[in-house]
Structure 1
Amino acid sequence: MTQPPALPPFRAARDSHAEEERDRRSLAEFLRLEVSGGLMLLIAAALALGLANSPLAEDYFSLRDHHLDIPALGLELSVGHWASDGLLAIFFFIAGIELKRELVVGELRRPAAAVLPVVAAVGGMVVPALIYVAVAVAGDGDTGGWAVPMATDIAFALGVLAVVGRHLPSALRTFLLTLAIVDDLIAIIVIAIFFTSDLNLLALLGALAGLALFYVLHRRGVTGWYIYVPLALLIWGLMYNSGVHATIAGVAIGMLLRTTAGPLEKQSPAERVEHLVHPYSAGLAVPLFALFAAGVEVSPDTFGDMVTEPEALGVVLGLFAGKVIGVFGATFLAARFTKARLNPALTWPDMFGAAMLAGIGFTVSLLIAELAFTGVPHLEEHVKVAVLIGSLLSAVCAGVLLTLRGRVHRAAAVQDTSSPSR
């Protein structure tokens, strides 16, 4: 039997390169899927919990707390802090782009369409914070963690919705996305104002000057990653040294990008950059943050202690109950007493499910837990466990409810298509 002729070396190399390129594109497209971000977060958190409660726990915590300092630049951070202050800035950069796009060309551009999700976001942050403070005061606990249950995790919430919401109206996703973006904006403001250490005015002015330079270069059409990446790193470093949380630099840079395409452009710069950076955020930055942030020791004693700790109880109740009450209640009251109206494709049970999804705090909640309880390690760990419990309860209950709602919408759609036309 004759063998097929061997490919010429140059052709074999070219085919191999093309296959690698296709694999890279396939991986990037997978990471851009909403469900992928939630899945990567879940895997990273599960791995972190597994490592923190295994024979490798000592090595895991040693790696997390190992310092990688650059003293000449004023950067003295552990591996865990490089993930939360550094890598997470990429996540906030994407959040900044999404916020800018919504403000310029999205739902937040039209006040009539933005009223309900904006009101829902505010209610969904105020009520959990009040519940936390009430529980903490009643139990003589630390009220400093009031901001922990305020945040909604965009990636996780939209990932769950992508899995269970195939038959739900697309308006529900739009509502949840707008809510989560406004939620992120408020969370960013909270971090900037309430979790800023001693302010270094000179470094802050340097960061603002860097942002101004970024804006001028971008508006004048200057291109080249070799210009913007070093400038972004400089802005980040100055922001870190200013005392303002370094992730704010990511948001600010994201919001400076132009979201409208020019006459000769197929895509706006913001859309093009987001398309390139999003896989790194979903597949690297956020999972690595979760890998080092969610690693807490959990034992029967942990749960026993948490039952008596108002801080942990306040976080669980704030995420699981406070978000539902705040988001659903604010939406209902706004629709009842103002001219704002629910999208005709949605029903109030759908909104209740979306309100439950908003209780998935995860990424930003874990970050705020680190900031709020920096000097109290045992409380920080227990509050992180509470974030995981509250987020898991919200995800499971919302998943069940929205799956049932999806069946209702599917049955209605089938009935409409089978009904004879009039």
Structure 2
Amino acid sequence: MKIDFKDEAQIIKNNLIKIRRQIHQNPELGFCEFETAKLIKTELERIGIEYTSEIAKTGIFATVHGTSESNKSDKHFLIRADMDALPLQEDTTFEFKSQNDEIFHACGHDTHVTSVLGAAEIIHKYRAHFSGKISFVFQPAEEGSKIYDPTGQISGGALPMIIEAPEIFGSQKNPRFDGILALHIVSGPEPSSQVGHIGVSDGKFTGSADEFLITIKGEGGHASAPHNAVDPIFIASQVYNAIQGFITRKVDPIEPVVFTIGKIDGGFRQNIISETCFMTGTLRTLNSEIRDMLKTELPVLIKSISKSFGGDANIEIYTGYPVGSNDKIINDHIRKVTKSMYGENALFEVDPVLGAEDFYEFGFKNTVPISMFWLGGANQAKGWIGANHSNYFSIDEDAIPIGTSILAATAFSFMNSSFKNN
């Protein structure tokens, strides 16, 4: 019997949209996704899927056991969704817009949860058609949070879940899964971001992201006499420019690297030279060796510039998410099912991005084949092209059953293939 995943997703589309809107109206920040987790558990119970909950506060792990007696297998496939929203005010006119002030699903994690729940329902319905296990992880805090941080670094929810439940997620030496999959909804004017389009890329796909907290220390004084003070705001301006210049001279221009200072905070009155100036920013790259080099050499540069003007600097670096790489083994299954269900024109080969993802932590440095694909969500004709992380982010909900069908079909394609991760 051939399963029509596209048709199965359409059958449950209205319920999926209802779920997505409920999550969208009630967004929650990282490690605080209690109502979202409650909704997920209610849906899993309705479907009849067993689960373990409260991993890293709000995380959930659920499993469907295949019951096929033919081609018996102990393969185990994992599909992931992240649950958290962003601290951002929604500026849209949708009737289901966020009801929580300054919290908004501006990166589409409501769609991720919904699509994975839809895939789980279809997979459970047809569990007699595969052998082995297909599991689902609903992860907190992909956007990062300092509410709960057992790792000692900037952490999303993936690492805390792995740390708390090694019996579920395994380790680099003892991985529990044979393949891992996730989707990410994207919106914007690009062709690959339009609803009905799927973006895939083999190899490096998302960048690393490390956070720098820089404190420039000077000596306060009167604005009329800067020669009798050490101006930390002036030093900060020199540091800002020097970092950009340093990267252009030290890094091969073929390599994508970006250091963005997102906040500068110094002074409190127009006629006073302050004693300190604070700078925060992120370092992003697709090259782990360059990442390590810059994390070593940039603090030296920042300190030397500060001292050359009579000041000093303190630099704190918080290690963030690693470079994320997609495995061709998983991607080829995505390509196959996308073309089969939606045609050649639906599939786009896309470039890597410097946005970061902790999804890849589940793959233990690609010990396990792991991949994420872009799910197009924009609709240019309707004006729904608000980009991810903007306060007017928006999607066409027709993307939800498409994501659901590709997740489910890819899982089945993988489970019924000969590949086994040894």
TM-score of the pair, normalised by structure 2 = 0.25
Pick the structure with more strand per residue. Answer: 2
TM-score of the pair, normalised by structure 1 = 0.25
Pick the structure with more helix per residue. Answer: 1
